[in-house]
Structure 1
Amino acid sequence: MNIPEKMAAALSAVKEKSPLVHHLTNYVTVNDCANIVIAIGASPVMADELTEVEEMVSIASALVLNIGTLNSRTIESMLAAGKKAKSLGIPIILDPVGVGATTLRTNTAQRIIDEVQPTVLRGNMSEIKVLAGLNVQTKGVDSVASEENGKVIAKKLALGWNCIVAITGKTDIVSDGKLVCQIDNGHRILSDVSGTGCMATSLIGAYCGANQDYLTATVAGIVSMGLAGELAQQSLTPEEGIGTFKIRLLDKIYNMTPENLAKGSKVTCE
């Protein structure tokens, strides 16, 4: 099967299995992440209490760790849930939101990478370059880094960390250390809505929860978000803006079919 066919099969698996995706995520986008997971056909749970996270992740199919609104309590919960998931072979998706902006964020993301060893790491170019040890500027949670050498960085980090590395931006790059996939789906308006990166990470979690081919699952999650963004933007009238766009984005994810995903994907792998 080629990559579009694999993505179509991956979406069918999500809709058939409806995997439970356990999130320890940020309070800015928690509802958006829950709704996008439901829209794609999976089931979300947003439990971050330390005394229950190990029990909760034990019944989940995937774990999403998002450090967007860190505090001391949730850091310990993330580490506990991550280690439990790792011991059970449950895929772990890390979103290192705002890494490089503060020492706490950078140290926490590095600690999760070292102690939990995530299955997939998805970030923007600034976040990924910081984790790669490169000297880059950050602007809060937004990327201001050049996308130059993205393929080389993704492949090198995927090999070093033994995980899937996804760099999202104008052009998205995903690598498992061997293959490197470039994704050209999406629209600029996605960057005008808070939480679209977080939602993409949650979609990756849904796909990983139903498929063991984590490279395809990661590509499918990112393509789903990008394609839905394209379709939602195309449906807008001149009087409509980001509020309507966000609603339509959910609708496009909800109504996405395996056939439409494969047909609309703009992916090349080498």
Structure 2
Amino acid sequence: MTNNKIEILDKIEENLIKIREKNALTHCITNSVTINDCANAVLAIGGSPFMAEDAEELEEVVAIADVLVINIGKLSKNQIKAMEISCKKADETNTPIILDPVGVGVTELRNKITMNLIDNHNITAIRGNISEVKSIAKLSGVLDESNTAKGVDVNVDDIITKQNLKTNGELISTLASKLNTVILASGPIDILTDGKTTIAIDNGDDMMPLITGSGCMLSSVVGSCIGGSNPLEGSLIAILAMNIAGEKARAKVDEKDEGTGSFRTYLIDYLYKTNSESLINESNIMIL
């Protein structure tokens, strides 16, 4: 264990207390498929969800929000307009913006929207799967080629493994430095970096991708945690909380011989029961 790792773990208890005391007002412009799960996940971690999309009220909402989460999962013209209005106001109020670039690299529309948000607004953190992150790297000129994701799911050739962990860590760190943002790339092993410190997180369960919305929930939780602490440490608590909750939910499902519907419920249950002792003692992290 390096001194950096010790310092990171030592801050978890303090930051989790801050997150729950702050009860960050988390304004989520997310997709209608997962909006209810996102709201429940925010509540479970200790945030306060606000799901506004009407152009007439967005500036007022962002003005009082602690953080803005943008999820491009299910786009509409009205939602695209809402994202632009909200991000512009967030820039004016210095409100952190978390971007979940769902399906970037799959269509030109998603590429255009993602890069418009990145190029023209102060994005605090990006949370996506590794295929989405690599697509942004390609669009940003950091990577020559990238694989096309399977819809909103990661391309099998991109999956983060112990064998390609270092290479992916270097790529994502370079991208984070160029974009001046925190990046959390999700997968069997997650990579979190601000371009200076890069952390691999080897927690979670393979049932998590089998429910709709686990990634969307994570992005919303990242928002609440950043709104209550800071970008790198808040993102770390978010991914540890979600992944360890996933491990506990899987154990409960196996114990009762249940399936993915029950897993979804248990995931939110254990997210609510998150505590610093569990995050510290059950985390499996490594500084790259």
Is TM > 0.5 for Structure 1 vs Structure 2? yes
Tell me how many residue pairs correspond in the alignment: 269
Q: What CA deviation, in whole Å up to 9, does each residue of 1:15-46 have, x standing for no partner?
A: 11111000010001000000000011110000
Residue number in structure 2 paired with 1:76 = 81
Q: Give the whole-Å Cα distance in 1 for the aligned partners of 2:70 and 2:252.
A: 32
- Is the Cα–Cα contact under 8 Å of residues 170 and 188 in structure 1 kept in the other structure? yes
**Alignment RMSD, CA only?**
1.2
Are 1:8 and 2:19 an aligned pair?
A: no
- State the AA in 1 paired with 2:244: L
1:229 corresponds in structure 2 to: 246
Ranges in structure 2 where 5+ consecutive residues have no aligned partner: 1-5, 139-144
Amino acid at match of 1:169: G
Query: Of the candidates 218, 234, 240, which is equivalent to residue 217 of structure 1?
Result: 234
From 194, 205, 221, the equivalent of 1:187 is 205
Q: Describe how 1:172-211 pairs up with structure 2 within 5 A.
A: 172-211=190-229
Select 1:21's aligned residue among 8, 23, 26.
26
- 1:238 Cα deviation (Å)? 5.5
Counterpart secondary structure, 1:138: coil
Displacement of 1:111 in angstroms is 0.6
State the SS of the aligned residue for 1:143: coil
Counterpart position of 2:41 = 36
Give 1:94-109 correspondences, 5 Å limit.
94-109=99-114
After TM superposition, the score normalised by the length of structure 1 is: 0.96
Partner letter of residue 112 of structure 2?
Answer: N
1:138 aligns with 2:149: yes
- State the identity as a percent: 39
Whole-Å separation in 1 of the counterparts to 2:215 and 2:146: 22
| Equivalent residues of 2:19, 2:224 under 8 A apart | yes
* Shift of residue 152, structure 1, vs aligned partner: 1.3
Maintained 8 Å contact 1:24/1:47: yes
**Is the contact between residue 131 and residue 146 of structure 2 (CA under 8 Å) also seen in structure 1?**
no
TM superposition shift of 1:117: 2.7
Deviation at 1:233, TM superposition (A): 0.6
CA deviation string 1:193-216 (max 9, x = no partner): 1110011111110111111x3111
Structure 1's unaligned 5+ residue stretches are: none
Instruction: Tell me the CA shift for residue 14 of structure 1.
Output: 1.5
1:181 and 1:73 mapped to 2: Cα distance?
37
- Residue 162, structure 1, aligned to residue 180, structure 2: yes
